[in-house]
Structure 1
Amino acid sequence: MGRWVAAREGAPRRYTRVGARKRIEQVFNAAVLEILAPIELVDLRVAVLVGEDNNPPAIALVCETLGQLDLGWIETGDAPIPWRAAAYAALEETLGTALPLFGYQDLFEEISMYYWDGEIDDESARRSLAAYQGLSAEEIEEQTLPSEMNARRPDWMIGTNAAKSASLPKALARALRRLRDAHKALKRLTSERNAWHFDSDTLYEYVPGIEECSSLPPLTLVPFEEFARELDDVARHGMEMGFMDFCGLCPLPAISRIDDWFASLRLGAQFLLAAQDLVRFDPPNP
């Protein structure tokens, strides 16, 4: 990192060891802040990790926001359902590339394992509740079943309700296209040069004890108002032991990788800004 800062500053300067460390932190943090400052959708933090056992240093990108992502007009607006569903579907399809986030299907699968032994239809869930929890028929009728959980989804959460691009207002279609284009650019990055990617085994090497955390991400697109009980259930372990809140972990075996990391950080920031603009975009009713 010191050589990277020296290369950026051009003319050599003499520092004490303490002064050099402070200068490195100042230059690095300023460069990171310049890229991440416009992002208000989530709070992100960057940390440089020292490698052990001959591992190179690495840069970690961590999400410090917890809970439901603000969906703005998609959740609370009065625009037509097909418009809102199209925007929600786009976020659900793309945001997981950059953020530690789970959607409705992830929640449904977690709840299915919690309560119905992995079953996904009502009849099988009833048999599971009777066989594994010993519930009577009357008690089972008081339990949440898959169809009831699915029925609680607002119409804008259901992908089949999404309007086609050609039938959307031009401004909304442009916002969605910008999101998808930024997502494609981020997806084209190779994993070893991507600030927004991490390998679990590599993460365990750099962050001992992280395996004790919940595997559940800290963010969700599932609305709390409709699914408070289910979200509380699946988040309990994370609230006690911590969530898997890493967006990315990028080892730096060579100084050139630092510039690669910043280039990928910028691409991811552009993608999140496109998502942020989509959430803030409130199309007028036709």
Structure 2
Amino acid sequence: MRTLTRPAARRHIERVFDATVLDVLNSVDLVDLRVVVLQGGEQGGPPAIAIICESLGQIDLGWIETGDAPVAWRAAAYRALDQSLGRVLPIYGYQYLFDEIAMYYWDGETEDDAARQSLIAYHGADADELENMALPSEMNARRPAWMIAANAAASKRLPTALRRKLDTLDRASKALGGLESERNAWNCDFEIIQDYIPGYEECSSLPPLTLVPFEQFARELDDIARNGMEMGFMDIAGLCPLPDADRIDDWFTALRRGVQLLVAAQDLIRLDPTQL
């Protein structure tokens, strides 16, 4: 029987761990993810494992954005992605963008009349300038029909193949959501992140990924991304402390469930609507 020194045993464990992680993540190409093992935090806690997102920008929505399938189908698919991807990715949708822009331009106001008053009172705009300034209703009106959840078809009115893809995504999302947060590889607690990765409190709180189409909202996306480009984005997809050795099994279980969700999202995006 071969006996390993402690350093050799550690290297062996690291190689096995890295190979297993890569094997699990191999089926994901929607985004680039990296796994990092961290030593105990500043408070002397247990080791932890972080999942970091290395992709930036708009998620490629495929046929949902650029295809000519019925709007009701595309809206159903987009709504499902909007409701599920936040479980595994640092990502934001339209409502987050709208709220950020409301704070940025209109001091939090979301109705046109109040936004106009804000532009006059706090930004020094005059009546003539208001005609050329974006207001909440104008921003909302730029949303393509497939971005509006109310346009989504009911499940029973969708083609069978699309309905199955949506059901698979929903089941994967619920399976991951059913895990306890302390055993979930994809859990993000900002206080825990600060403890294990000093300096992250200086980063922007903005996630690096978005479901908002750049074509319609380029200016708004650029405006809120400016701070992230300068200070860094909140790119942690999950950070899970491991107080006991057997927690590694729970971590891998959660990792696989998250990957199943991402693969289900990939399959939905890559669906060929002409074959439905």
Question: When the two structures are superposed, what TM-score results if normalisation uses the length of structure 1?
Answer: 0.94
Residues 1:173 and 2:163 are matched in the alignment: yes
RMSD: 1.2
Find the partner of 1:211 among 201, 220, 224.
201
The letter for the 2-side match of 1:152 is R
- Is 1:77 matched up with 2:67? yes
Give the letter aligned to residue 66 of structure 2: T
- Report the counterpart of residue 33 of structure 2 in structure 1: 44
Task: Measure the CA separation in 1 of the matches of 2:83 and 2:139.
Answer: 21
Aligned counterpart, 2:95: 105
Structure 2 matches for 1:1-286, cutoff 5 A?
13-52=2-41, 53-284=43-274
SS of 1:34's equivalent in the other structure is: helix
| Deviations 1:49-71 (CA, angstroms, capped at 9, x unpaired) | 00043200000011111000010
Q: Which whole-Å CA distance do the structure 1 matches of 2:243 and 2:199 have between them?
A: 24
- CA distance in structure 2 between the partners assigned to 1:24 and 1:140 by the alignment: 63
- Write the distance in 2 (CA, Å) between the matches of 1:270 and 1:285: 24
- Partners of 1:232 and 1:121 in 2: how far apart? 22
Q: CA deviation at 1:98?
A: 1.0
Partner Cα distance (1:170, 1:40) in 2: 25
Unaligned segments of structure 1, at least 5 residues: 1-11
Shift of 1:14: 2.7
SS at match of 1:45: strand
SS at match of 1:27: helix
Q: CA deviation at 1:282?
A: 1.9
Residues 100 and 246 in structure 1, CA contact (< 8 A), matched pair in contact too = yes
Identity of aligned residues (%): 64
Q: Please give the alpha-carbon distance, in whole angstroms, between the structure 2 residues aligned to 1:76 and 1:25.
A: 43
Cα separation, 1, equivalents of 2:121 and 2:2: 74
Q: Which residue matches 1:7?
A: none
* Separation (CA, whole Å) in 1 of partners of 2:262 and 2:172: 9
Whether contact under 8 Å (1:216, 1:243) holds in the other structure is yes
How much does 1:283 deviate?
Answer: 1.4
Whether the 8 Å CA contact 1:78–1:285 is kept in 2: the answer is no
Distance 1:17 1:225 in 2: 55
* Distance change >3 Å, CA 161–CA 285, structure 1 → 2: farther
- 1-structure distance, mates of 2:129, 2:117: 12
User: How far 1:233 sits from its partner (Å)?
Assistant: 0.3
Q: Which residue of 2 aligns with 1:8?
A: none
TM-fit CA distance, 1:13: 3.8
Instruction: Provide the rounded CA distance (Å) in 2 between the counterparts of 1:190 and 1:155.
Output: 37
Q: Is the 8 A contact 1:79 1:285 kept in 2?
A: no
* Partner amino acid, structure 1, of 2:108: G
- Cα distance in 2 for partners of 1:13, 1:175 equals 49
Unaligned runs of 5+ in 2: none
CA distance in 1, matches of 2:3, 2:118: 71
| Structure 1 residues 200 and 13, CA gap change in structure 2 (3 angstroms) | farther
Q: Secondary structure at the match of 1:79?
A: coil
CA distance in 2 between partners of 1:21 and 1:238 (Å):
37
Aligned-pair CA distance for 1:16 = 4.2
